[in-house]
Amino acid sequence: MRDIKHIGILTGGGDCPGLNSVIRAITKTAVLKYGVEVIGFIDGFRGLVENNYVQLDLRRVSGIGHTGGTILGTSNRDNPFNFMTMIQGQLQPTDQSDRAISNIKHLDLDGLIVIGGDGSLNISYKFFERGINIVGVPKTIDNDLSATDITFGFITAVNTASDALDKLHTTAESHHRVMILEVMGRYAGWIALYAGMSGSADVILIPEIPYSLDAIVSKIAQRFRQGKKFSIIVVAEGAHPQGGEMVVQSLVPTSHDPVRLGGIGQKVADEVSTRLTDIETRVTVLGHLQRGGGPTPYDRILATRYGVAAVDAFMEGKYGTMVSLQGNSITTVDLQEAIKEIRKVPVDSKIVDAARSIGITFGDY
């Protein structure tokens, strides 16, 4: 066991249910199991650059495990290697990584545990290459990180979307409408797939399977002929038609991933309404509700296991790694492996096959 005395932690990227559970687990494990002090940087990597932090102790993390958000704050725009700095009255990107490393050394930290998605972990890997001891914890509601079966926050987001679908079913059936629910996920369709199956959707559109409007219209028309005068469609924000592009809502140049998707739900609704003029179509964009609220019991437990495993890995000198769920076990994988690609839904997976078997269409035929 290495002589570790001080660990820094931060939460980067978008907020996610379960972040506080991880913070609590890291702090309690470090303090109670190893006698190590923990400091938390405020607002992600911005706090690291600006040396803005708080001491984390048992009192500060008491009672936060069931709460949503992060007590440390977070940011998805503050990359120390491309940090927006005011120069002669204008914000300009600058490399502030040396400043961040200087703060780490000044605080006598033995390294960092970074809780984040692919953007934050990419930044973390750069710091690891610069000689900083790093252990990552996989966080994203999108479930799109490589080298782990599930990221914490995903199941809570699915639960939120499933609850929305339950409510949309009643109004859809009452008014004989097509109800479209647009969910998050970026370039992966995990939330749409799981929520769609859980919420008894008729059509699920995901980025991995480009859709045909003809197939969607055919499914809705078939249901009406069978006397089912309503339909439920779940659309992942990254879904797109065959031969077409994803719908981009906006661009944020200062972000690791500048593309903000959104609007595909309305696009599908407009196209369906044009083809089926006698059927009303309505759209609900779930948006940031999927990020909010307290984590489900599953995510609380998974986040706690990740937090404990991250401290254990750090104390064992397993730097440049990310804790990962493999089956029922928590292990470590190389950070480089974890960030090398986006984990997408395999189109030939058993869960996609199961959805097709119960009559769900993915709009491809």
The reported pLDDT for the residue numbered 112 is 98
**Domains 6-152+293-338 and 157-291+346-357 in one fold:** yes
Of 290, 23, 288, 63, the C-alpha closest to 156 is: 290
Residue 255 CA to its chain's centroid (Å): 15
- CA atoms lying within 13 Å on the CB side of residue 168: 29
The reported pLDDT for the residue numbered 352 is 97
Dist. CA 195–CA 158, nearest whole Å: 5
The reported pLDDT for the residue numbered 77 is 84
Category of 361 on φ-ψ map: left (φ > 0), alpha (ψ -120 to 50) or beta: beta
The reported pLDDT for the residue numbered 250 is 84
The reported pLDDT for the residue numbered 91 is 87
State how far the alpha carbon of 243 is from the alpha carbons of 40, 115, 149, 240, 349, in Å.
46, 37, 30, 8, 23
CATH topology for the 6-152+293-338 domain: Rossmann fold (3.40.50)
Average pLDDT of the chain is 95
Dist. CA 135–CA 314, nearest whole Å: 6
State how far the alpha carbon of 91 is from the alpha carbons of 60, 123, 194, 253, 256, in Å.
35, 21, 41, 12, 17
Token pair belonging to 169: 């079913």
| CATH of region 157-291+346-357 | 3.40.50.460
The reported pLDDT for the residue numbered 278 is 84
The reported pLDDT for the residue numbered 254 is 66
Token pair belonging to 242: 């065959």
The reported pLDDT for the residue numbered 76 is 83
Token pair belonging to 341: 């690609």
Q: Are 306 and 323 in contact (CB under 8 A)?
A: yes
Hey, which residues are catalytic here? 142
Q: Are 113 and 7 in contact (CB under 8 A)?
A: yes
Q: What is the pLDDT along the chain (365 residues), one digit of tens a residue?
A: 568 999 999 999 889 999 999 999 999 999 999 999 999 999 999 999 999 999 999 999 999 999 999 999 998 889 999 998 888 888 899 999 999 999 999 999 999 999 999 999 999 999 999 999 999 999 999 999 989 999 999 999 999 999 999 999 999 999 999 999 999 999 999 999 999 999 999 999 999 999 999 999 999 999 999 999 999 999 999 999 999 999 998 877 766 677 888 999 999 999 999 998 888 999 999 999 999 999 999 999 999 999 999 999 999 999 999 999 999 999 999 999 999 999 999 999 999 999 999 999 999 98
* Domains of the chain, residue spans: 6-152+293-338, 157-291+346-357
Task: Let me know how long the chain is.
Answer: 365
